[in-house]
Structure formats: C-alpha cells, structure tokens
Amino acid sequence: MTEPVLAIRGLQVRFRTGDGILQAVKGVDIDINAGETVAIVGESGSGKSQTMMSVMGLLASNGWAEGSVKYRGQELVGLSPEKLNNYRGSKLTMIFQEPMTSLDPLYRIGDQLALPLTTHGGLSKTKARERAIELLELVRIPDPKRRIDSYPHELSGGQRQRVMIAMALANNPDVLIADEPTTALDVTVQARILELLSDLQKRLGMSIVFITHDLGVVRRFATRTYVMKSGQVVESGETSALFASPKHPYTKMLIDAEPRGRKEPAPAGAPMVLDAKNIEVNFATKSGWFGKTSHVLRAVDNVSLSVRAGETIGVVGESGSGKSTLGRAVLRLLPASGTVRFEDRALMPLDRAGMRPLRRHLQLVFQDPFGSLSPRMTAGEIVTEGLLVHEPRMSRKERDRRAAQAFEEVRLEPAWRNRFPHEFSGGQRQRIAIARAMILHPKLVVLDEPTSALDRSVQKEIVDLLRDLQKTHGLAYVFISHDLAVVRALSDEIMVMKSGKVVERGTAQDIFERPKEDYTRDLIAAAFLNQQEPDATPLAS
C-alpha cells in the first residue's frame, strides 16, 4: 500500500472547561489512503467529531490538539491558521451535520461558492461564477443558473447540504470529511445525498471520511471502519470483516443495538381504546393587525386511526407529514375536527375541564428528553405532577412513595428522585418522561419519536422498556416515528403519512414486505439501503 494521504498518530484533544481540563480524544491513530472511504463510528461523546475537527484546525477556542496529523508528509498540528489555509478548503475539506445553519444566511449561495474558488483557485469573479454553476450542476441542484442567485433560506435542507458539498469539492480536494452529513435530513433525502457522495467519489477519486453513528451508512459505503469510544479507537479494520466478526465488546454492542424483533400480536378481541375518525387539523397563518387569516395549511387531512388495548399503531412519515400533529389531535391537545371516541365516550364535545378527568388515561411522551422536563423541578416532582391533578387528596408521603415506585418501574435508581433533570443523561431523562406518563396508569400512550434523540444503544433500552410496560399493563400505543427500523420492531399496524394524508396502511409485515405505494417503497429503500435484514425471522425479545 502506498503512503496514506492523511496519517493521524497519537492525536489528543483537550478542552479547558469550568470544571478543569477535559480530554476528548486520547491518543488516536487513523490512516486515510487515497481514494478510499473510511468510516469513523461511535456514539455521541466518543470524540469522533473532535478528532476530525482538530485535523481541520476547527476546535473551539478553549480546545487544543497534540500529537501528529500528516497530510502527504506535511505536519498539520501546531500550524498557524494562515499556513493551515494552504491545505484546508483546497486539499482537505469538510461538510457538517447542520446543513440548515452551515451557510451564511446573509449572502447569496453563488457568492459563497465563489469564495474558495477565488481564494484558492485564483479564479476571476466571472470565471468563478461559471465554475460555481458547474459545481451546482455537479451536485444536481435543479436549474443552477437561477439557483446561484438564491439565498440559503430559499433552499431546502437537502439542497443546502448539496451546496455545502459543492463548496467542499470546489478545488478538487484529496480528502473530504463528512461529519454526520445526513443526520439532520429526512430519510429519502438522506439516501439521495449519500448516493451523490458515493457517485462523486467515483468520478473525482477523492478519499471520504464518514463520521457517523449510523451503522447502515458504514456498511453500505465504507471500505474500512474505525470504532471509537470515549476518545479512543477500540477496533478498526475492513468494514465487512469488522461486521462479520466484531472483536471488541463495544463493537458487538453497537451492532447488537440495531432494533430487532417483532411485536407479538395483541390478544384477539381486546377492547377498543381509542377510535378516531376523519381527523382534520388546519393551521392558519395569521397576518395583519387583527389576525386576518391569510393562508390555511391542512396539517392533517381526513385521517382515521383506531387502537385496541395492547396494540401498537405505528405512524411513519417524514418531517412535515403531520404525524405529530395527528398524535396531539387525537389527545385533544390541538383544535381539530372529526370524531374521537375513548372507550365509550366521545371526546370532541368535551371542553378543557371535561377532558381533565380523562387525561389520566391518555398520555403523551415527547421526542426531546431535554425539552420535555421542566428544568427547575426535581425528577420526583415531575413524575408526580399528574397525581397532584388526578389524586389531589394524596399525601405528600404517598406521592413520594409512588414516585419511587415509578422510578423503579422504568428502571431508574429511586434514590435519584430528588435530582434535577440536567443531572440525568438523555436516556435517563426519557425514562423520567415515561415514568411521568405511567404513574397515572394510562390506557393509551402516544409516543412521539421517543427514541429519535438517543444513541442507538440507549434507544434499544428504551424500546425494551416500552415493550415490557405494554405487556404488563396492556397499554395501547400510538408510536410516531420517522425511524422505520424502530417502528417495525414495535408495531402491529403501520400508517404511512405524507403531507397530512395517509398514503398507505396495513400490518407491519405487509407494509415492509409488500409495500403498495411508491412513497412507502422509497421510504423503506432509503431506510434499509444501508441495512442487510438483520433478522428475517421474528425474534422474541
């Protein structure tokens, strides 16, 4: 093998923080060879991003790197920003996780694209503009001659990421570092961006470094893989070999954490818990002094949904498909039209006060474990807030006992109930949110992307917990998610939503094995293109 393009040796990254010095990367060796695709895999906090940030000299001002990073023999660590500018942007480039904010909102994309061209390529303004149009064409932005004069906010997230790629490729780099380039995007867009990257690599021949937590991406694209955990590389090698026989327990755990298993069907003849028909939700965009309605957006369009005790309905769709709105509408948290029956009661005619006694049976768990817990209340107070409403006569001591019980049920240390939300990790916070819903012994829980903000290994624990709780209490779930792997592992029935309408519905098996609609097929292809079926046979968890 020829000498690597990029050779990282003994790289260490430290940050000076309020609580002393924090070491994020603890001596990492990585080689990137010409024209290959390398993946660096790890969960949040593993130091994978900081490793590559330090290569590019982009560490935050309180951080510094030690060790060696050589680009074709030239040492990069310790180089002044001016010297480093000879390499970054031309030889080494990077694209980031946040396409929505990575472009300057105040400049036209043509002007931003021209910057690396005029600076490094020495092109004139007019030449740079011509080349910028070529680049936009290269990344398949439609109508580049017009788009070049757009501002970033006029482009979609996927298009912005394409512009970022165009900027990164402007000077034919040797190495392109992609830091979770598709995480913030919808699955179908994700798939297209990844395809574009692999296609461009074939045409231009640069090396790509994928920083990702998504094993699917790794399996599909990377020739070699480095697995990182708490600032160290724990395992590396050819991707296929690594996946076939992982050696390090952490790698095994990561691979194992892919959601698997199927839901056992709900007992036949289980009672209907919630029956919603013809739900419609309209959002009016208001303008003017006294809110003249100028524009109506139909977020949910004539959707019906029913769920029995012990049953899970999966609702899948991309952002803006109306799936979360639907979840809130059936709980009467949003104004909606249609009919909703809970057991034998019609909910629509009830007002706020009339709904209140029923709220204990109808619960909601949110996506964001950071935003859904009031930051100035203790975990115990948060969990027992529902008891204050529904069992106002309960003594403080009894509430405390119930809090401890609920903590145990979600497998959290009960002694921690006097801690505050910020003292818990993301997965623990989601458990608190689940405990808050469960303490009232609800009959139906709407789960709005409860695992999306979590690392895969934590996701798996939450999924297992939800399954157990359903089994013990005979809960009915409405499970809203964009993550088809999780939905498949948890649902009896699945509804696919797009622009507020149900595109397709059916049993989990039917949807995944015999999708009828193109859109469903796209979704499945996008989500699974990176995953060989981990398990074809149903597996009891």
Partner 1 sequence: MVEGAVLPAEVLKDPVVGRSLWAEARGRLVRNRAAITSIIVLGFIALACIFGPLLTGHPFDKVYPDYVKVPASLEAYPKADQIEPNVERVASRVRAKAENIAVEGDKIRVTLVGQRPIDERLLAYFERSDLFGAAKVTERADEGRRMVVDVPIKRNYFFFGTDTNGRDLLTRTMKAGQVSLAIGLLATFVAIVIGVIYGATSGYLGGRADLIMMRAVDVLYSLPFIFFVIMLVVFFGRNFVLMFIAVGAVEWLDMARIVRGQTLSIKRQEYVQAAEALGVETKGIIRRHVIPNTLGPVVVYMTLLVPKVILLESFLSFLGLGVQEPNTSLGVLISEGAKNIQGATWMLLYPSITLVTILFCLNFIGDGLRDALDPKDR
Partner 2 sequence: MLSYILRRLLSAIPTLLLIVTIAFFLIRLAPGGPFDLERPLEAKVMENLNKIYQLDKPLIEQYWLYLSAVVRGDFGPSFILRDFTVGELFARGLPVSMTLGGLALSFAILVGGTLGAVAALRQNSLIDYVVTGMGALGLTIPNFVVAPVLQIVLGLALAWLPIAGWNGGAPLNLVMPVIVLALPQIAVVARMTRAAMIENLRSNHIRTLRSLGLPSLTIVVHALRGAALPVISYLGPAAAALLTGSVVVETIFGLPGIGRYFVEGALNRDYTLVMGTVVVVAVFVLLFNLVVDILYAIIDPRIRYD
- Where do contacts with partner 1 occur on this chain (CB under 8 A)? 17-18, 289-291, 328, 331, 333, 355-360, 362-364, 366, 368, 371-380, 382, 385-386, 388-390, 400-401, 404-405, 408, 410-420, 422-423, 425, 427-428, 431, 433, 436, 440, 458, 461, 465
**DSSP 8-state symbol, 376:** T
Q: Given the complex with partner 1, which of 70 and 390 has the nearer CB atom? A: 390
The one of partner 2, partner 1, none whose footprint includes residue 469, by CB under 5 to 8 A per kind, is none
* Cα→Cα distances 432→197, 345, 420, Å: 40, 30, 11
| CB-CB neighbours of 19 under 10 Å | 6
CB of 524 to partner 1, least distance (A): 30
Distance between CA 137 and CA 143 in Å, rounded? 8
Question: In the stretch 154-173, what mask flags binding to partner 2 with x, by CB under 8 A?
Answer: ----------x--xx-----
Residue 183 has which token pair?
Answer: 């995480």
Helices and strands (H and E) in the chain: how many:
19, 20
Of the candidate spans 87-95, 186-194, 318-326, 484-492, the one that interacts with partner 2 by CB under 8 A turns out to be: 87-95
The one of partner 2, partner 1, none whose footprint includes residue 427, by CB under 5 to 8 A per kind, is partner 1
Distance between CA 347 and CA 368 in Å, rounded? 27
CB of 31 to partner 1, least distance (A): 33
- Give the 3-state secondary structure of 290-331: CCEEEEEEEEEEEEEEEEECCCEEEEECCCCCCHHHHHHHHC
The one of partner 1, partner 2, none whose footprint includes residue 234, by CB under 5 to 8 A per kind, is none
Residues 46-85 that bind partner 2 (CB under 8 A): 56-58, 60-61, 81-82, 84-85
Of the candidate spans 91-99, 209-217, 370-378, 474-482, the one that interacts with partner 2 by CB under 8 A turns out to be: 91-99
Say if CB 76 and CB 260 are below 8 A apart. no
Distance between CA 223 and CA 338 in Å, rounded? 53
Distance between CA 115 and CA 99 in Å, rounded? 18
Q: Given the complex with partner 1, which of 77 and 462 has the nearer CB atom? A: 462
Q: Given the complex with partner 2, which of 18 and 335 has the nearer CB atom? A: 18
CB of 459 to partner 1, least distance (A): 12
* Cα→Cα distances 329→120, 282, 392, Å: 54, 11, 27
CB of 173 to partner 2, least distance (A): 10
Contacting residue, 33, 34, 66, 119, with partner 2 by CB under 8 A: 119
CB of 82 to partner 2, least distance (A): 8
Sequential DSSP letters for 54-86: HHTT---TTEEEEEEEEETTEE-TT--HHHHTT
Is 122 an interacting residue with respect to partner 2 (CB under 8 A)? no
343, 348, 382, 445 alpha-carbon torsion, rounded to 10°: 40
Q: Given the complex with partner 2, which of 123 and 475 has the nearer CB atom? A: 123
Residues 99-118 that bind partner 2 (CB under 8 A): 101-108, 115-116
CB of 192 to partner 2, least distance (A): 21
**5 burial class (0-12, 13-18, 19+ CB within 10 angstroms)?**
buried
CB of 282 to partner 1, least distance (A): 16
Is 88 an interacting residue with respect to partner 2 (CB under 8 A)? yes
Q: Given the complex with partner 2, which of 120 and 220 has the nearer CB atom? A: 120
Q: Which of 311, 310, 309, 313 is nearest to 327 (CA)?
A: 313
Residue 13 has which token pair?
Answer: 């990254």
Is 86 an interacting residue with respect to partner 2 (CB under 8 A)? yes
Pairing of strands 37-41, 224-229: parallel
Contacting residue, 28, 37, 69, 87, with partner 2 by CB under 8 A: 87
Total residues in contact with partner 2, by rule CB under 8 A: 35
Q: At what angle do helices 157-169 and 125-138 cross, to 10 degrees?
A: 120
- Point out which residues bind partner 2 (CB under 8 A): 56-58, 60-61, 81-82, 84-90, 93-94, 96, 98, 101-108, 115-116, 119-120, 151, 153, 164, 167-168
